[in-house]
């Protein structure tokens, strides 16, 4: 063996050993991740039933169906109801993530008018928009029908609009634009909120990510919303993107192909 | 006219799974009864119940197939499921065959499957799809047995049955029978077009080594040293570690490659087991005197290879419209690609069409002509590992 061949042999062995170590580490981490996902799915599933039970019991008490209550008692019960609702959202997010990872997020495509779906989602956030006195502007043109899973796209829109509302200060502004971009329909949601720190933007669509500036202001939120949104859009063969500047605002967009 | 329907089920009730998948495939065939049912299924099912379920839906239609290490359909890769293709073609005559006793005499089993298939056909087949047991016998010898009957330059394709990456026992399906240690096959003749692609994309690394002693699939010495030394040296592991654990699990992404005439890529050989004498048993023979290299996989190259295999197959169709795709894809590629596994099948579908009915499975070995060459004078089918082998049938 020449000196050059010896050198080549040594480098090849180093490379293989490093590759093997990484492969084995990857296999271990994949197995751990799977176990963790399974645990989350089971825990979330077990939590959902009692939370629903608590929800309806509280609702009956608040509505006076079980017996008369005082205004003060009602206030406490309403707070409990809201907390319970947040827990239900969290559990639903965890279950959505578990279903995505297990490949059990089933998509049923149906033709729909995307602007109608967006109008419905906005209507659902009417109270939140009013509570924060946010100015919502919608720009749209007449769009062709598109084949999507309406429930999943509704969930994606809810998550994006919920983020825009949640992370924009009172009296802020949110703009929603719908347009056709060649063979795609594009939805753009822009806010003048707190934005995402630049150094954290690469992790934006990963599970459990929450911006450090947001955690300081708002302790709620699962950090699962954008992960779910990205999966939904990509399952529709669409694209998702964003731009953000801290304390200036964020712009999120997604496009869905008309050919699905 | 060729029609193919695809069905799939993950029902935990084995009989219902077979029935559901078969019925789903049959429902996609318009006007008339299909000529053949092909089934690929996870070994997790009760195999007899599964086959009973298929037959309860298929009636008198011939059924053939095998167990797998993952199933592939038009919807993409999957696991722990059963995938079924129902095929109806006025212009194709199908014949099926069975050869038993692969372990005792692989070549005789290869001859038997081909002989039995020919007897059932009106004319000599122009293509043969084989599904041998992936854990017993010498895969290359089975291919040779088939060639003894059909001819040295006959184009044959196929995949070796798997068992969900457990390496315990595989199953072959022939009519109502669940077999092991067998090879089943389908002959096709008539006026139809076909094309095939064979590519792996693995790259050699390190210096070439000479096989100084081997016996069939048992690699005894490399460069006059015990063969296991190659993995000891490259992995930096002791021989005991490699013998104690099935080396197959560790080495599937580092197979051996040997140069053969007729292929620009090295022919891959998987390592199955090692013994305390330092001998390595491979999935098929490595002739004494061969020059071999250690191979390294890369996801990008693996996906590119699948795309090129599809392009090669498409070019052989000479403009005919693809009607059915068969994919025999090594389980090692599935492991190499991990979460990117969908991309490999998507790459094929981008070339051949996303709506063309597709069935296949993750194998323990592939059978296909070297380099995807189908020239009747020079075509040389061989036993491959870690390779993407695909066949398209067109009008």
What are the pLDDT digits (tens) for B89-121?
Answer: 999 999 999 999 999 999 999 999 999 999 999
Calpha distance B107→B306 (Å, rounded): 30
Q: The sheet that has A249-257: what strands, in order across it?
A: A135-139, A173-181, A184-191, A249-257, A239-245
Cβ-Cβ contacts under 8 Å, B206 against chain A: 8-9, 12-13, 16
Which residues does chain B have within 8 Å of residue A23's beta carbon, measured at their own beta carbons? 253
Residue B262 has pLDDT above 80, yes or no: no
Please give the Cα distance from B124 to B149 (Å, whole number): 11
Q: Which fold has domain A110-257?
A: Heat Shock Protein 90 (3.30.565)
- CA A16 to CA A14: how far, in whole Å? 6
Alpha helices (H) along chain B: 14-27, 47-58, 106-119, 139-150, 229-235, 239-244, 247-251, 299-316, 331-337, 341-352
pLDDT band at A105 (very low <50, low <70, confident <90, very high): confident
Sequence-distant (≥ 6) Cβ neighbours of residue B261 within 8 angstroms: B370, B380
Inter-chain touch B207–A20, beta carbons under 8 Å = no
CATH 1.10.287.130 range(s) for chain A read 3-102
Pairing, β B36-42 against β B63-68: parallel
Q: Does residue B164 contact residue B175 with C-beta atoms inside 8 Å?
A: no
Residue A219 confidence (pLDDT): 60
Q: Given an 8 Å threshold on Cβ–Cβ distance, is A12 in contact with B205?
A: yes
User: For tokens 């022919």, what's the residue?
Assistant: B267
Please give the residue of chain A at the shortest CA–CA distance from B296: A16
Nearest CA in chain A to B205: A12
Nearest CB among A1, A15, A23 relative to B205 is that of A15
- Mutate one of A13, A27, A104, A106 to test the B interface: name it (highest B CB count within 10 A): A13
Q: Calculate the alpha carbon distances from B82 to A153, B7, B35, B146, B325 in Å.
A: 31, 8, 20, 28, 17
Q: What is the pLDDT of residues B280-291, one digit of tens each?
A: 988 888 999 999
Distance of CA A100 to the CA centre of its chain: 12
B204 touches chain A (CB under 8 A): no
The contacts found for B378-382 with CB under 8 angstroms, 24 or more apart, are B378/B153, B378/B262, B379/B153, B379/B154, B379/B155, B380/B152, B380/B153, B380/B261, B380/B262, B381/B143, B381/B146, B381/B147, B381/B154, B381/B155, B381/B156, B381/B157, B382/B140, B382/B143, B382/B260, B382/B267
- Kindly tell me the sign of the dihedral angle through the C-alpha atoms of B185, B187, B193, B196: positive
Question: Which of residues 172 through 191 in chain B touch A, CB cutoff 8 A?
Answer: none
Query: Rounded to an integer, what distance in angstroms lies between the CA atom of residue A26 and that of residue B342?
Result: 19
Q: Average of pLDDT values for A29-58?
A: 88
pTM of the model: 0.74
Largest CA distance in chain A: 95
> Do the strands B322-330 and B358-363 form a parallel or antiparallel pair, or are they unpaired?
parallel
Among positive and negative, which fits the CA dihedral A167, A169, A171, A173?
Answer: negative
Distance from CA of B269 to the nearest CA of A (A): 18
Mutate to test the interface with B, among A3, A9, A11, A16 (most CBs of B within 10 A): A16
Residue span(s) of chain A under CATH 3.30.565.10 come to 110-257
Chain B CB contacts of A26 under 8 Å are 338
Mean pLDDT of B34-50: 97
Which CATH number applies to A3-102?
A: 1.10.287.130
Say yes or no for a CB contact (<8 Å) between A17 and B235. yes
- Judged by phi (left if over 0) then psi (alpha if -120 to 50, else beta), residue B244 lies in alpha
Pick from B207, B257, B343 the residue to mutate for testing the A interface (most A CBs within 10 Å).
B207
Mean pLDDT over the full length of chain A: 90
Out of B207, B233, B296, closest to residue A19 by CB? B296
Q: How far from chain centre, in Å, is Cα A217?
A: 19
User: What average pLDDT score do residues A116-130 get?
Assistant: 92
Model ipTM? Answer: 0.70
The number of C-beta contacts closer than 8 angstroms across A and B is: 34
Cα distance between the two ends of chain B = 7
How many contiguous H segments (helices) and E segments (strands) does chain A have? 7, 7
Give pLDDT tens digits for A204-260.
Answer: 898 888 888 877 776 677 788 999 999 999 999 999 999 999 889 999 999 999 976
User: Chain A interface residues facing chain B, Cβ-Cβ under 8 Å?
Assistant: 1, 5, 8-9, 12-13, 15-17, 19-20, 23, 26, 30
The predicted model gives A18-24 an average pLDDT of 90
Kindly identify which residue of chain A lies nearest to residue B337, measuring between CA atoms.
Answer: A23
Domain locations along chain B: 2-199+301-394, 203-296
Kindly state the tokens that stand for B94.
């199908």
Flag if B207 and A8 touch (Cβ within 8 Å): yes
The residue of chain A nearest to residue B233, with distances taken between CA atoms, is A13
In sequence order, what are the residues at sequence separation of 6 or more whose Cβ sits closer than 8 angstroms to the Cβ of residue A168?
A132, A134, A174, A191, A192, A193, A194, A249
pLDDT for B113-157, tens place per residue? 999 999 999 899 999 999 999 988 889 999 999 999 999 999 999
B338 chain-A contacts, CB cut-off 8 A: 26, 30
Do B254 and A16 lie within an 8 Å CB cutoff?
A: yes
Entry field: residues in chain A: 260
Which tens digits make up the pLDDT trace of A45-102?
888 889 999 999 999 999 999 999 999 999 999 999 989 988 898 888 888 888 888 7
Q: What is the C-alpha separation between B111 and B127, in angstroms, rounded?
A: 15
With an 8 Å Cβ cutoff, is B338 touching chain A? Answer: yes
Q: How far apart are the first and last CA of chain A?
A: 59
Q: Which residue stretches of B77-130 are H helix?
A: 106-119
């Amino acid at each position: 063996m020449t000196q050059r061949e010896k050198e080549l042999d040594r480098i090849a062995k180093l490379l293989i050993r490093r590759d093997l170590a990484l492969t084995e580490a990857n296999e271990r981490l994949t197995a751990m991740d799977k176990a963790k996902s399974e645990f989350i799915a089971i825990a979330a599933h077990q939590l959902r039933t009692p939370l629903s039970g608590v929800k309806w019991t509280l609702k009956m008490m608040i509505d006076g169906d079980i017996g008369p209550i005082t205004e003060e008692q009602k206030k406490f019960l309403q707070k409990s109801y809201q907390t319970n609702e947040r827990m239900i959202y969290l559990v639903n997010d965890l279950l959505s993530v578990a279903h995505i990872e297990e490949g059990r997020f089933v998509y049923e495509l149906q033709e729909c008018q995307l602007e109608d779906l967006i109008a419905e989602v906005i209507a659902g956030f009417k109270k939140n928009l009013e509570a924060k006195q946010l100015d919502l502007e919608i720009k749209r043109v007449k769009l062709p029908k598109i084949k999507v899973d309406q429930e999943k796209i509704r969930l994606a829109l809810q998550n994006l609009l919920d983020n825009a509302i949640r992370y924009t200060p009172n009296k802020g502004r949110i703009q929603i634009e719908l347009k056709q971009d060649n063979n795609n329909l594009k939805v753009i949601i822009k806010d003048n909120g707190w934005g995402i720190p630049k150094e954290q933007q690469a992790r934006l669509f990963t599970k459990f990510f929450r911006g450090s500036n947001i955690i300081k202001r708002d302790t709620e939120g699962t950090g699962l919303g954008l992960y779910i949104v990205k999966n939904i859009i990509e399952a529709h063969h669409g694209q998702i993107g964003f731009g953000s500047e801290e304390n200036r605002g964020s712009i999120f967009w997604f496009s869905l192909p008309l050919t699905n | 006219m060729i029609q193919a329907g695809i069905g799939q089920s993950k029902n935990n009730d084995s009989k219902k799974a077979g029935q559901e998948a078969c019925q789903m495939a049959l429902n996609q065939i318009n006007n008339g009864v299909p000529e053949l049912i092909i089934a690929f299924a996870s070994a997790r099912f009760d195999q007899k119940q599964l086959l009973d379920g298929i037959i309860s839906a298929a009636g008198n239609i011939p059924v053939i197939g095998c167990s797998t290490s993952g199933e592939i359909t038009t919807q993409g890769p999957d696991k722990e499921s059963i995938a079924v293709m129902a095929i109806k073609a006025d212009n194709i005559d199908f014949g099926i065959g069975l050869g038993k006793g692969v372990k005792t005499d692989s070549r005789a089993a290869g001859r038997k499957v081909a002989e039995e298939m020919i007897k059932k056909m009106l004319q000599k087949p122009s293509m043969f799809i084989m599904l041998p047991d992936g854990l017993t016998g010498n895969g290359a010898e089975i291919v040779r047995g088939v060639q003894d009957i059909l001819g040295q330059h006959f184009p044959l394709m196929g995949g070796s049955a798997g068992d969900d990456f457990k390496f315990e026992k595989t199953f072959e399906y022939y009519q109502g029978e669940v077999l092991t240690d067998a090879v089943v096959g389908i002959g096709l003749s008539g006026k139809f077009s076909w094309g095939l692609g064979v590519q792996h994309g693995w790259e050699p690394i390190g210096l070439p080594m000479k096989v100084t002693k081997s016996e069939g699939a048992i690699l005894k010495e490399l460069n006059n040293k015990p063969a296991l030394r190659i993995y000891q040296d490259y992995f930096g592991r002791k021989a005991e570690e490699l013998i104690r654990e099935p080396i197959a699990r560790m080495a599937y992404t580092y197979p051996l490659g040997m140069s053969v005439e007729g292929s620009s890529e090295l022919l891959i050989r998987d390592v199955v087991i090692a013994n305390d004498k330092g001998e390595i048993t491979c999935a098929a023979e490595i002739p004494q005197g061969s020059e071999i290299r250690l191979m390294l996989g890369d996801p990008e190259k693996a996906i590119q290879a699948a795309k090129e295999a599809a392009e090669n197959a498409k070019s052989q169709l000479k403009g005919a419209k693809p009607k059915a795709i068969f994919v025999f894809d090594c389980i090692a590629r599935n492991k190499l690609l991990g979460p990117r596994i969908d991309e490999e099948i998507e790459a094929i579908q981008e070339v051949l069409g996303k709506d063309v009915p597709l069935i296949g499975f993750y194998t323990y070995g592939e059978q296909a002509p070297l380099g995807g060459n189908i020239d009747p004078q020079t075509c040389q089918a061989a036993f491959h590992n870690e390779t993407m082998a695909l066949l398209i049938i067109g009008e």
